[in-house]
Structure 1
Amino acid sequence: MTDSTAAGSGQYAEVNGINLYYETHGSGHPMILLHGGLGSGEMFGPILPTLADHHQVITADLQGHGRTADIDRPLDIRLMGDDIAALIDHLGLRKPDVVGYSLGGGVALQVAIKHPEKVGRLVTASAHVSRDAIYPEILQQQGQVSAAAAEFMKDTPMYELYQRVAPRPEDFPKLLDKIGEAMAKDFDFSEEVRGLRMPTLVVAADADMAPPSHYVKVFELLDGGLRDGGWQGEARPKGGHALAILPGLTHYDIFLSPLFAAVTLAFLDQKS
């Protein structure tokens, strides 16, 4: 790595065919924390101290993001889920909690679906489980993401971050092409969600990329929102699942919010 400013305080793990960058903060029961698209673990900076006061927090830069260089394969949340599962093994972690936002929420979900024995508790924030849940105007915007958009993004925080930390800053247009291709593919993981057995918290902003009703439907797949919970909580969802719609937030600021940190910690620290 030639640019000294690109060197973070973390380490690299050769796992699943990718050289994955990660950082470790704090102590306690481990939490894997996964960032959104065109971001990196750095994006959690404002809430990281709060989370690290309670847990050992491991942030990982996903394929082609942050300090993790891209490799010759599509950007697919299922493959990135395998990367994180391999990182869990590499670090010798026993059932860490896995928390993800947006793209990272989709990856966290795939870790839980494909490698359930490796996950303690799961938190997915602002992560829709089917493509058709997204507002039509957002799908239209996503259809315009490609290398051709790189020039127009030069004043954005995402571009600044990538230029500052990426091992190959010149790869930014390629990353946009890959993200555009990934977002164009249809998907629906509803049935896989229905099969989740680890306690799962579904989080969204009240003005997110998909309507609140979508996240309520995800909660229903997990046996939630179907009946009164009972005086002692005895009729709450059988798997210990929960739902949080956070007020006054959007898809683009929820990951910075103390509310997100608070509900995440409250859920992860339940003893049941």
Structure 2
Amino acid sequence: MAATDRSPGPGEYAEVNGINLYFERHGAGRPLILLHGGLMSGETFGPVLPALAEHHQVIAVDLQGHGRTADIDRSLDVRLMADDIGALIDHLRLDRPDVVGYSLGGGVALHTAAKYPSKVGRLVTAAANIRPDAVYPEIREQQKQVNAAAAEFMKSTPMYELYARVAPRPGDFPRLLDKIGEAMARDFDFTEDVRGLRVPTLVVAADADMAPPSHYVEIFALLGGGLRDGGWTGEGRPEGGHALAILPGLTHYDLGDSPLFATAVLAFLDR
């Protein structure tokens, strides 16, 4: 079997921005673009896909260098990957799909909505911090160890097993770790990107996430949320239809495949 023929999967490819972007479609209805976390792929949403696909046509994308999408000569940057999603929306001729992202995908989803508000219906950004200093210090120390040298130690993990099974070029795994490590080491502040959002946005986090709940409350406040009483008829809720969900009993690592996540997403998108 040739390297490019590994586990072709049931999905499709779209040539956008110089990248051969893999995606799968599930269900029918209003389109929902679903974006996974780092070192994951669209199929890691498997436990929640049936619930989401009951109500929507779910378009689960494998982001740059992840899953069945081969890497290209470009840094791993959420803003560049947002351009890929904007181009995919055009390629598929979608009419303002909702965009839902978790962790790395949450950052990509946020920037897709920020850069292309006319192309997006509603936004869900889950477990995505907007400043690196929001993350707990011990986690930031762990992130510094993510590089090609860690590849051998990760070969016993589910993340590597998934990558080795489906990636067009499994030998790129060390390169992916280097790129993710570099991305996490960069300084950034997406405060103004959040403040400028013009689509209804749901901010989601686990109650024991990678950053404290207060950080996600801060993000909600940038959208005008949590600053006053909502009122009997919701007249005090933030303008623009924004909302916040802190999901109980979860962590950063099991949030994206939790039934609570699907419930919160559907409640926001379908109300």
TM-score bracket, normalised by the shorter chain, equals: over 0.9
Pair 1:40 & 2:41 matched: yes
3-state SS, counterpart of residue 64 of structure 1? coil
> Structure 2 CA distance, aligned partners of 1:28 and 1:130?
35
> Structure 2 CA distance, aligned partners of 1:267 and 1:21?
27
Match of 2:200 in 1: 199
> Structure 1 CA distance, aligned partners of 2:39 and 2:185?
16
Cα shift at 1:25? 0.4
After superposition, the C-alpha distances for 1:3-43 in whole angstroms (9 at most, x for unaligned) are 65511100000001100000000000000000000000010
Pair 1:221 & 2:238 matched: no
3-state SS, counterpart of residue 231 of structure 2? coil
2:62 is matched by which residue type in structure 1? D
Pair 1:115 & 2:116 matched: yes
1:185 is matched by which residue type in structure 2? R
After superposition, the C-alpha distances for 1:188-237 in whole angstroms (9 at most, x for unaligned) are 10111011111000000000000000000000000000000000001100
Instruction: Decide whether the 8 Å contact of 2:111 with 2:193 is kept in 1.
Output: no
Cα shift at 1:256? 1.0
Match of 2:142 in 1: 141
2:101 is matched by which residue type in structure 1? G
> Structure 2 CA distance, aligned partners of 1:190 and 1:8?
38
1:205 is matched by which residue type in structure 2? A
Match of 2:87 in 1: 86
Q: TM-score, normalised by structure 2?
A: 0.98
Match of 2:236 in 1: 235
Pair 1:187 & 2:188 matched: yes
1:188 is matched by which residue type in structure 2? D
> Structure 2 CA distance, aligned partners of 1:2 and 1:12?
18
> Structure 1 CA distance, aligned partners of 2:187 and 2:139?
14
3-state SS, counterpart of residue 24 of structure 1? strand
Q: What's the Cα RMSD here?
A: 0.9
Match of 1:74 in 2: 75
> Structure 1 CA distance, aligned partners of 2:6 and 2:85?
25
> Structure 2 CA distance, aligned partners of 1:236 and 1:37?
33
> Structure 1 CA distance, aligned partners of 2:2 and 2:245?
43
3-state SS, counterpart of residue 59 of structure 1? strand
Match of 1:2 in 2: 2
Match of 1:131 in 2: 132
> Structure 2 CA distance, aligned partners of 1:73 and 1:266?
36
Gaps of 5+ in 2: none
> Structure 1 CA distance, aligned partners of 2:225 and 2:19?
37
Aligned length: 270
Q: TM-score, normalised by structure 1?
A: 0.98
3-state SS, counterpart of residue 256 of structure 2? helix
Cα shift at 1:2? 2.4
Gaps of 5+ in 1: none
> Structure 2 CA distance, aligned partners of 1:142 and 1:88?
32
1:150 is matched by which residue type in structure 2? A
Match of 1:256 in 2: 257
